[in-house]
Structure 1
């Protein structure tokens, strides 16, 4: 139990303290986002060296799944035990996972890919607390009406990470060992830990310390079972096989029991009551769709650029710059506009429309698509993401009581991550199946023996030039065909985003102006006190 001053009579947190804390939070967000973008451009080289193209989705899925299952746990732990300690702990776990991921395969090369997948999962467990912790801390320090400006600043840092990440990852891949894509997190994380440990002071609350560990276990195993269905279905096992059916039954049953337990435990890890708020439910749906379309499809863009378009790892990072620039600019503009006007409903609608248009255009990728053309498509993708990412988090936080601020942040991040988990795993299976089918359909008579000597799963982009011209063209066409097909799947989910956003209700943001009592489950934002 922790003594605190009465919230209603406490002064607001001083502005100087907020200015000192912000750099530390920005470093944490930079840490999480930079890692994702660096690894993305290095991924083709990593999977080529350690195991193969057919395992590319697993390296991504392991991290996203670790993030997904840990996000609601970090949010609840922060609500119960204080966000600072929990936030710093998540950074430490993330750094340990980074160090181990960089060392994967050093001792036992034969199991290098298995090690990397396991260590990426550990890294994801820590990463689940980085973004949700930073956003929840901003929610503690800043009232919703002013939060758009600060979340816009956070989005700008994310944009900087997204711009620098692909370039740094490509440069590391081309000129150094890919392991530094993970090791680079260590000095950044060390600085972030120091800054936050010495400058971050948050309000502390009196609360009962209870964690729903049974619920956490049910959620983790249930989600993992469903992700394995999308990963293995149609590739390792037939869709109607006993393994896939068994996973489906287990996943549905475990998640059903999880939902049942959440209505009966005193401190549920996922309070179902927050979904009674229409806005919160809608942005949760939007978050799932965005995560599915964005994480699933974007994971394969660097591979397309390095193989079909012939870009180096460094240049493939540069080719992603339009997406990062579009996201950064629109996030800042949206954040400042929301702070100035208090209006936000239009942004997720616009973002959804632009996202759907970009996904449709990306279905046109083929072997003849120029880099300029693909850059325009990717720019539109970034603009759509910029309108959606921070705005949906703001709406989620504004839709719940103060006591559920952490869990609202974690739930919003959770549904986006779970969408990404399903997207990455499903797209990985679809990609491999379409690649193999297209190659098989285009192999000329009598060329089967020469194709059979090539291990497509272990082929690295740099090895394409060593292939006979006819064989190289078949492989490149297969990768192009497989990549464009992913965006048809992403388009189906992206179309639902503006539809759901249309039904969002414009509830006044709390903070700078009096809140409307009782509106959509809103609770008045009371000032807080910072306590050492």
Structure 2
């Protein structure tokens, strides 16, 4: 395929990726207002994000396996439809419980869009050339990431729109992506009997969900060392062991364990787990810092995160082009791990009155590290597996990144609630403010406070408590980034292949693996 043909083919994919990332970022700066309007708590704040990440985590391997068995084009379109349905209902939410349930549906669709975009790129483009096009994905990620919070802030601050439109605004982009995909994306479809590992998917989801519920409630609803802790952690481990056992004998495992015999796949998956903890677990709470520690509006909160987004944009696009030209990719992973660790550590020193230019530099380092690592971990994994396993391997990396993000957001959210409560208590005591009255006005560290309604002395204490508490969770996330750095340092650099997945698989004329043909519009597609 020529460069122009590839760009035409991936145009719909880029739109789909834009929708997927937009759905995650557009609510970032709106969440404090959303949770306050729905009378939610800090735990609900974390779970609105965690629910979508958990659904992505559970569904990504399934999407990857389906991509190895069925029409990739049809799967992308199904993922878009699921996303649209979840978004429309999410905008009608009347409680945090309803919103969390809708975020699960959104997460299933977004998981498909994220996984399938990487898989289709791998099928069409050789690893050596893929860095160039991965840069386009990185640029799309950056645009949606910087545009989402700003757009969400503007929508939230606009009285005649309101935060519910944060969920509706992505729907037209999804419909446009459906139309573009229908006209431009054509890939061979390999006919094989589909055997989905539903048992493995259910066991994996149950194990991760139980672990996240324990992390969210421990220390608040019951003690960390209690019978509930032992019951939940023991249950999560038992379900995890059952998942591994099921994966050893089912014909089409949702997460093929044989892939992890390859050292690069294993280390890249581990690194993605740690990157997910650092990336999602830390960046999700930046909007809370700007709104609750510095009193900024949702719109300004989005604009203030631009240094991080520019770091992601520049690092992903520049590294992709240089990798295509030189074929060297490990240096970007190692440098990204160092910058990610440094950025999180430096953000851990901030307070509510830290000069913004300091924070801007810290965010730029964080974003640059993310941009260097995220796409290139997928690239080095795809370079090491057979064409038949491209879907499963790509989704494995995405699975561990989403898993790390879900665990990170849930765990750091629980830590934040505890730290803020302690800092509020200490701040009120130091200023001689009656703790009971002040804590009630400030939400006691559990509810999301509205700074505009707080008296000046209480507001200062709340801003200081959130500034210090949010800095603490960046420090807690920094060791995960350090582990990501150590892990990628152990990956052996292998020269990038010069043939795409479809070229390696051979011409679409059947063979031992089954018959294949060029994919036509969805009305005629089968498989």
Please classify the TM superposition score into its range, dividing by the shorter chain length.
over 0.9
2:457 is equivalent to residue 474 of structure 1 = no
CA contact 2:123–2:502 (8 Å) conserved in 1: no
Cα RMSD between the aligned structures?
A: 1.8
- What is aligned with 1:20? 8
| Residues 211-241 of structure 1, C-alpha deviations (whole Å, 9 max, x = no match) | 1111111111111111112211222221122
State the TM-score, normalizing by the size of structure 1.
Answer: 0.92
Which residue among 127, 130, 133 is the counterpart of 1:150? 133
Aligned 1:476-515 pairs, distance under 5 A: 476-511=463-498
Q: CA distance change for structure 1 residues 147 and 527 in 2, over 3 Å: closer, same or farther? A: farther
State the match for 2:515 in structure 1: none
Conserved? CA contact 1:362–1:374, under 8 Å: yes
**Structure 2 partner of 1:525:** 504
Mapped contact 2:211–2:236 kept (Cα < 8 A): yes
Aligned 1:440-459 pairs, distance under 5 A: 440-444=425-429, 445=432, 447-454=434-441, 455-456=443-444
* CA shift in 2, pair 1:86/1:512, >3 Å: closer
1:63 match: 52
Cα contact 1:288–1:420 (8 A) shared by 2? yes
Secondary structure, counterpart of 1:204 in structure 2: strand
Report what 1:114 is aligned to.
97
**Matched residues in 2 for 1:313 and 1:141: separation?**
40
Between the aligned partners of 1:203 and 1:353, the Cα distance in structure 2 is 41
Count matched residues: 505
- Choose from 1, 21, 29 the match for 1:33: 21
Q: 1:178 aligns with which of 147, 163, 167?
A: 163
Contact 1:44 1:53 in 2 (8 A): no
Distance 1:258 1:297 in 2: 29
Could you report, residue by residue, the CA deviation over 1:427-477 in whole angstroms, capped at 9, with x for unpaired residues? 11000000111111222356124214323467656x313322221111111
Q: Distance in 2 between matches of 1:231 and 1:87?
A: 33
Matched, 1:256 2:245: no
Find 1:48's aligned residue among 5, 22, 36.
36
TM-superposition CA deviations, 1:42-84 (whole Å, max 9, x none): 1110011112342210111111111111110111112112211
1:48-447 pair list within 5 angstroms: 48-54=36-42, 55-105=44-94, 112-175=95-158, 176-444=161-429, 445=432, 447=434
Distance in 1 (CA, whole Å) between partners of 2:332 and 2:2 is 31
**Between 47-56 and 409-418, the greater mean CA deviation after superposition:** 47-56
1:4 maps to what in 2?
Answer: none
Deviation of residue 122 (structure 1)?
Answer: 1.1
Q: C-alpha displacement at 1:104, in angstroms?
A: 0.4
Q: 3-state DSSP class of the match of 1:405? A: helix
SS at structure 2 position matched to 1:508: coil
Q: How far 1:526 sits from its partner (Å)? A: 4.2
Distance 1:493 1:268, change over 3 A: same
Q: Aligned partners of 2:437, 2:425: CA distance in 1, in Å?
A: 12
- Structure 1 residue 496, shift from structure 2 partner: 1.1
In the alignment, structure 2 segments of 5+ residues that lack a partner are: 509-517, 521-527
- Moved segments of 4+, more than 3 Å: 13-17, 456-461, 526-531
- Deviations along 1:400-422, one digit per CA (max 9) or x if unpaired, are 11001001111110000000010
**Structure 1 unmatched runs, 5+:** 1-12, 106-111, 514-521
